[in-house]
Amino acid sequence: MRCAFAAMSTLLLAFEASPADTPLVYRKMWEPKQRAFSFLAPDGWKVEGGMFYIDPMQTNGPGNTMEPKCDMLIKKDDVGTVMLHWVPSYNYADLRAPQFAMGAGYFPWGSYYQGMLVKPLPTVDEFLEEVFAYYHPQVRDAKTVDRKSLPELIAYERKVYEPSEILARQMGYPGVGIDAGMLVKEYSESGVGYTEALACAIIDLRWTGAMWTNQYTLRLRSPATEADRWRPVLDHIRQSTTVNPQWLAQVQRAVAQRGESWRETQRHLNRIDQEIWEHRAQTHAEIRHEDYLFLSGQEEYVNPFTKEVEQDTNAYTCRWTNGSGDMIYSDDDRYDPNKVRELNHVEWKLTPVRPR
């Protein structure tokens, strides 16, 4: 599970921003299974899924058991007419590299090698087309209306995988291949026309363990006729994500322990994985602010309860918060949630912009 969700800065370019006409109440929510991260979502929205692990006893190798996976939807209703979906990241095996040629014949496409599905390395577009088809098997009228590269996400991944790049060069192997992009689809489902944006990064590590992986894979959709309305909402849910540092520390310790247990049989693969995690922990604080600089329409606010500086959207004139971390956004200067009977059971305060 990656930490810098903010690196997906241009994902929602398919949707035109438009301020909401009425105040929106956002509630602070937690990933439900492990409290791995928190986020803000509109009051009444539903959360489905969350973090999970693959049981190493049910696979033929450790290739997908080292790190937790995230499969979580945040949606407006049961159907998910408006929704954000974090799609799990998996490690795959492509044994066409010369150093694996002798054993490649024993692992045809669709089989498993060290716990990883044997699958040829795709392009970003090819992978996202597969993701779309997996989640919409009955859709027949889908068309791609836009595609874009995500250079900011590519740049971020290059920082994360910098130790692997250096090690590869030292060992005489090709460097780490990194690409990232998005597709925008239009289609009909159950009589409703939708616009859906899909994005991911593809990391080529085939020189180590024949592995490649998808990262930051996201799906976001809304009815096509309401894209203007829901774009800032989906964007804000994604931008508000904050990783729980206690959870991250536990995961890092668990990764190290798993790496040690498999060291003899997976020494090379585990060493790369561990180096990535260690580098991520060291550089997370350094690059976090840089990641947010890629995001459009942000401002820094001073929380009147905690006195901490918070980065948030500037799409609204007024930003209210309470002691629980819930938020209300409004473009009406006269609006005061403390005067609304359904909301004034707690105190709401305006959050001022940080003095410059």
100-114, 149-163, 215-229: segment of lowest average pLDDT? 100-114
User: Which of 278, 295, 312 is the last residue before a domain boundary?
Assistant: 295
- On whether residue 356 sits in a domain, the answer given is no
User: Which of 295, 321, 340 is the last residue before a domain boundary?
Assistant: 295
Tell me: do 263 and 172 sit in the same domain: yes
Tell me: do 314 and 243 sit in the same domain: no
User: Which of 271, 295, 319 is the last residue before a domain boundary?
Assistant: 295
> Residue 13 above 50 pLDDT?
no
Q: What is the pLDDT of residue 20?
A: 47
Tell me: do 178 and 225 sit in the same domain: yes
- Give the total number of structural domains in the chain: 2
Domain that holds residue 123: 5-295
Residue matched to tokens 């006729």: 225
Tell me: do 51 and 122 sit in the same domain: yes
Q: What is the pLDDT of residue 178?
A: 96
Which of 80 and 60 is assigned the larger pLDDT? 80
Convert the pLDDT of each residue in 125-144 to its tens digit. 999 999 999 999 999 999 99
- On whether residue 32 sits in a domain, the answer given is yes
Q: Is 78 left (phi over 0), alpha (psi -120 to 50) or beta?
A: alpha
Tell me: do 274 and 334 sit in the same domain: no
Tell me: do 288 and 307 sit in the same domain: no
- On whether residue 37 sits in a domain, the answer given is yes
Tell me: do 222 and 156 sit in the same domain: yes
Convert the pLDDT of each residue in 81-114 to its tens digit. 999 999 999 999 999 887 787 778 888 999 998 8
Tell me: do 57 and 179 sit in the same domain: yes
> Residue 10 above 50 pLDDT?
no
> Residue 269 above 60 pLDDT?
no
Tell me: do 326 and 212 sit in the same domain: no
- On whether residue 45 sits in a domain, the answer given is yes
Tell me: do 337 and 289 sit in the same domain: no
Q: Is 259 left (phi over 0), alpha (psi -120 to 50) or beta?
A: alpha
The pTM score is 0.75
- On whether residue 215 sits in a domain, the answer given is yes
Tell me: do 343 and 267 sit in the same domain: no
> Residue 116 above 80 pLDDT?
yes
> Residue 184 above 80 pLDDT?
yes
- On whether residue 355 sits in a domain, the answer given is no
* Cross-strand bridge partners of residue 185: 144, 196
Phi, then psi, of 178 in degrees rounded to 5? -135, 130
Q: What is the pLDDT of residue 72?
A: 98
Tell me: do 343 and 310 sit in the same domain: yes
Alpha carbon distance 111, 93 (integer Å)? 10
